[in-house]
Structure 1
């Protein structure tokens, strides 16, 4: 992983709705919690604008993050993020502790390659239908990929790409497939757009007339 994200955090003593509102309004911070790793949960606060800026980077969601609090560092992943129902504001964040010897479950984005240049699209007029834009993987923290690539160059017309077709980095498994073949869900497919006619169909109709 090429990027490193370090989040400055502060201990949070006062809790409850009133304290959280004051935190957001007066200090421009949001409440958060660090949990897991066989340790007690730690209530913290983090800068609202700092975390909001970090979220603009897709990699933030699939990276091991470093939270620095009172000079100590914790390795975590972002597990949940709550937003205001109608304002562009964050309201709470949950972070899960990780360590190098225990596997983690993380949603990783899918990056689609050659989506416009694949023969089934460019030459045959196919349209790509996406069923997924991310996938949950299981791996050790050091093996966590920033994203998984899906190359459409060799995907044929009317072909469906399933989870089992994805090429994964070493040490990475797909969570759904660990539950059995029944969970081998479709990722994407290339089909003719509805209402589109093939050249052969058009020629046949022209010949009949």
Structure 2
């Protein structure tokens, strides 16, 4: 049902009907999807026991493991087709929300929190770094079209992109990915600071916003939730 609502919103955005969508409903969808990722999407199965074996554990056991549904494991467990499809779909939802609804700050922050949760797992991250959608998100972040994002959202977006590298086992590949994510903002910031007009115009609001944009990228965000 939630995926259907997301797809309905996606089709509405493609039809230029975004003004008819409720930011509150969209934020609720992002909130739910984040919780879904935390609990059910490619979970660390070492934390659980299958429901069938759980039934055979004596009730007097002092440390009962949590049961894990066989149906959920089959649908969204590690290396399952359902998990791969869901991650790819959620990545497209994140990209579309940031690209087309960046003027809605609460929704954007909920969307960025979903992205951070998606990559805050080695199992999920290993799949995401292989998708074209992730590089499209990197390109969107560097395109300069997300200037309307709040500081927290911009920091969270950069945090999510950088965290993806933690899932890359090969050091050379990890360094290459980091270069795609980090080199463009560093280069852009250096060019801004080296500009001949910077010392004369640094008090202008547009220039201040550019500086703050780069600082937010460098800071990232600590997710304490």
TM class by shorter-chain length? under 0.3
| Higher radius of gyration, 1 or 2 | 1
Which one has the bigger helix percentage?
A: 2
Q: TM-score of the superposition, structure 2-length normalised?
A: 0.25
